[in-house]
Amino acid sequence: MQTKIHPEYNNDTAVTCACGNAFTTGSTMKAIRVELCNKCHPFYTGKQKFVDTARRVEKFQERADKKTSVAAARKGKKVKKAAVAIKKSAKKAASKKA
């Protein structure tokens, strides 16, 4: 087994973000510079935007809305057919009694 092959671990590594936020953590590096951190990343700040160059999001939403409206229309047709079937069975039952 080889000795002294592992890098030295630093408990007080300074991490500096491009936005100016700085904190310390443990790492094998003495200093770390990052572009995004939890203070400036859009996902964590709530300022996330969808970059939609080819209207992909709108197209997907339109297809989803169309599917739900078609399903609702089909359900409406089924309800109407059921009502017509009930009326027919009521008429047959009335004609049998008469």
Model confidence over 42-77: pLDDT tens digits? 777 777 766 666 788 888 888 888 888 777 777 677
Domain covering 1-49 in this structure, CATH number:
4.10.80.400
**pTM attached to this predicted model:** 0.43
Q: What residue segments make up the domains of the chain, in order of their start?
A: 1-49, 53-98
Which among 9, 38, 44, 46 has a CA at the least distance from the CA of 22? 38
pLDDT for position 32 = 95
Which among 23, 20, 15, 13 has a CA at the least distance from the CA of 40? 20
Which among 24, 6, 27, 7 has a CA at the least distance from the CA of 15? 24
